Structure 1
Amino acid sequence: MATTMGPRANTPARWQTALKRPLDEGVEIRQPAGCGMWIATSSSSAGTAHEVTSWACGCPAGQFGDPVCKHGAALLARVGRLALETEPEPPTPAAPAVPAVCATCDGKRWVYKHSRYGDGFFRGPCPACVPSAFPLRPAA
């Protein structure tokens, strides 16, 4: 039982993938002197070249009706109609926010306070940066 494939998609993503291959495999696009046709070297078969246009190619993929092949992508890049899209640069992370340092406690979140009993000092929460330590009572 023979299986048949439907037509291959002609999408920008496939063209980008196809363009990476000739760059990696060293496919060259040449135009013989005195004629308007373009020739692409084969990366899989030494000494072989395929006639290529912007709409068709003589390579096996092109002969089986695939609209996207590495030779066609290389030609489109050569004539300036296709460029390799680069990955966008990731955004530069923002500098970490420097927390503001409380001027009252110098960032310690506590201060020395006078004891109301006159026996020295004690360590208590900073009223400037820890306001919840001194909740306001509702008026009676």
Structure 2
Amino acid sequence: MTFIQRLWRYMIGIAIGTMLAFFFFGSRSCSQWLPNPQVRQFLGEPGLMGDERTRCFMQCGAVTMADLRVLLEEGDIQYGASDVRNEQGTGKFYRIEQDNRAAEFVVTDTTTLVRSLELPDVSDACDCP
């Protein structure tokens, strides 16, 4: 068998393997297994609850639960400012920032608590602690 024949058979095998891979795995996305989508799904599944300051912002109309969900889905997770191993003893939390907004999402057994909500553009409009 000459080199050209071996190369031809090798290329046919690559083509068949590629077609089978697209057939079986074509609709899957590899980005869902990266850390950020996994953390977002982990935080969003149990449901969001707000702490006292977050509820105060919600009562004066500065923020809604939909805004918190958008921050969770579109914001950048700051792993350096987060405590993902519960080293402080206050529970695992993830700090998520987007533009000039930020919040810490604390993981509990049944829900995700939103604490340390930072909204500089509406902090003056509401008299929240």
Please, what TM-score do these two structures have when normalized by structure 2?
A: 0.25
Greater strand share, structure number: 2
Greater helix share, structure number: 2
**More contact order relative to length (CA 8 Å, sep ≥ 6):** 2
Bigger radius of gyration, 1 or 2?
A: 1
Please, what TM-score do these two structures have when normalized by structure 1?
A: 0.23
